[in-house]
Structure 1
Amino acid sequence: MQQELSEDRRLVNDAVRELARRTRFPVAFGGLIENGVAQMTAFVGNHTDALQGLSVRPERGLGGRAMVELRPRMTGDYRTARQITHDYDLYILGEGIGTLMATPVIVAGKARGVLYGGAWSRSSVGGVVAAPAVSVAEELSRELARRDEDRRRASEAPVPLPVDLSASHREELRESYAELRAIAASIDDSSIRARLADVERRLAALSGFADAPRTEAIPDVRLSPREVDVLARAALGETNAQIGALLGLREGTVKAYLSAAMAKLDASTRHAAVARARKWGLLP
């Protein structure tokens, strides 16, 4: 669940940056509905920290109204606007925003979140700004809908039966896993990276570690993506120089990632780190 939330928030970050790029708004921010309120998690161009912690309830404020009406709402003079509640003046006026536009993110006919564009001056907001803002929100909506569908299908997929892999097949699977992570690291498209991550998880499941009997509790160890990348290559017996060349990293950087992974896994050597990572289901 936490991973899904992080993936969705990354999409919002991309959308907010795109909103700022396509419109004349110097300030852009946005977020998705979490536990009944839209939590603002992405910010571009703000001069202060006033917007941090902003959570918008449906029907409240400009964004809340946009989410309820399922259409963009805007005002050229936020301070004196009478068509909205002013629940969030502390945040909006704290940043000094005069002009504000809120565009709902709609998935399956319901508000999923809201994107804002703002300016410190008071001005008339017209269709020349509204159109690209709506376009960005619609693109985010489509991507969220696709991701929701992918998750639904994954949750309904039958659990694969344990696979009895030979040593050679297991080694080939591990090589494929390491290569797939290297490819994913070179791709900028977040949606493609998310799909590749799903394939990585399937490959890891095929290794059979999940079927091994557990004689001890598994610690909650979290390796960074780069630490997993480097450890997966080290598992194939590659040197730091070889790993660096394959992943586009300096040899010293590879060593730093390996050291961090070894520390998290409480292992004194890379071989021990690989063994423990496999035992705990972090590597195939």
Structure 2
Amino acid sequence: MSSPHRAPTPDRSRAGVRSAVGTVAGAAGDAQVLDHAVAELVRRTRFPVAFGGLASGDAVHVTSIHGARTRRLEGLVVEASRGLGGRALVEKRPRLALDYRSSRSITHDYDRAVLGEGISTLFALPIMVAGRARGVIYCGSWSESPVGDVVARPAFAVAEELSSELRIRDEVQRRLTLSPTGTGSVTMPATTREELRETYAELRSITAIVDDPAVRARLDRLEQRLAALSHDDTEQSLDLDVRLSPREVDVLACAALGSTNAEIAATLELREGTVKSYLQSAMAKLDASTRHAAVVTARRAGLLP
């Protein structure tokens, strides 16, 4: 007699759905982040056309194109080691083809797309996250154009910003996967909460030195998700009408990890005296006599995770 099929428990089923939805949402969010970076390449560099994609398996699927004059680049899939981008992906370093048509250092598998768009000079930058190439972004021109430091620097900056944001998104997604998914009776382990708080502080320090308003806004949303995840339901909340400045939150988040004023200053690229001033201001607003007391009060008031 065959054994009856055992249906998954409701909690596991819901957790599976949440995990699947989170994965899809994460992938869609990564694609949006990439698209913003590609648009920034056109805006901040001298290259009129830019495109890029994230890696899936051993290939980069181009999903974002800005400034193109034709549709030749649409749907392009670049295999590892093939073409300029494939080499950048495998070698984990930027690659340049000053005259793409005559370049002998790359395979020409994608001439139909690249030359069909009329691109002459092509610059490919791998997006490195935790030592792994997560994708490739390209910028190109329709005529042969020299690429010196002044020209390349903005492209490198865009690639670095994209790398940082993807790394943060990966970490947030990892924390979401590890966090408890029950209701009420489930308590997050103290070690997990502390890891979330460390990630929050690191995220605040990165956001503090990002100039792009759109990137800052997205990072702010990630911070809010982390803060909500690390909230301790067992701790009595405090209804406190206090507003801390963004810098006061930055400094207090670092202080919550036990960092000294000098360490906070190095992390946030501030003077040590400035850090002390922000801490004193936050302590005064929270009516706390020590930094530790300020952190406890800020957490109970929902100002810190």
TM-score (norm 1): 0.59
Match of 2:101 in 1: 79
Q: Which residue of 2 aligns with 1:277?
A: none
Check if 1:192 corresponds to 2:192: no
Q: CA deviation at 1:161?
A: 2.7
Give the 4+ runs in structure 1 shifted more than 6 A: 197-203
* 1: CA distance, partners of 2:225 / 2:130: 25
Structure 2 residues without counterparts, runs of 5 or longer: 1-22, 186-212, 234-305
Q: Which amino acid aligns with 1:192?
A: D
The Cα offsets for residues 223-260 of structure 1, whole Å up to 9 and x where unpaired, read as xxxxxxxxxxxxxxxxxxxxxxxxxxxxxxxxxxxxxx
Q: SS of 2:143's equivalent?
A: coil
CA RMSD of aligned residues (A): 2.4
Match of 1:2 among 17, 24, 28: 24
Paired with 2:181 and 2:225, the residues of 1 have a C-alpha distance of 18
Q: How far apart are the structure 2 equivalents of 1:200 and 1:95?
A: 46
Pairing 1:196-235 to 2, within 5 Å after superposition: 196=224
1:217 corresponding residue in structure 2 = none
The offset of 1:200, in angstroms, is: 8.8
- Count how many residue pairs are aligned between Structure 1 and Structure 2: 181
Q: Is the 8 A contact 1:67 1:111 kept in 2?
A: yes
Shift of 1:95: 0.4
The answer to whether the 8 Å contact 1:75/1:125 transfers is no
Instruction: Return the letter of the residue paired with 1:148.
Output: D
Number of the residue aligned with 1:63: 85
Q: Given residue 81 of structure 2, which amino acid in structure 1 is its aligned partner?
A: E
What is the SS of the residue equivalent to 1:116? strand
Identity %: 49
Using the TM superposition, give the Cα deviation of residue 112 of structure 1 relative to its aligned residue in structure 2, in angstroms. 0.5
Structure 1: 5+ residue stretches without partners: 164-186, 207-284
Partner of 1:231: none
Aligned equivalents of 1:40, 1:162: Cα separation in 2: 43
Measured in 1, the distance between the counterparts of 2:158 and 2:229 equals 31
The one-letter amino acid of 1:78's match is Y
Matched with 2:177 is 155
Q: Which residue of 2 aligns with 1:33?
A: 55
- Distance in structure 1 (CA, Å) of the matches to 2:117 and 2:26: 30
Length-normalised TM-score, structure 2: 0.55
Question: Partners of 1:35 and 1:198 in 2: how far apart?
Answer: 29
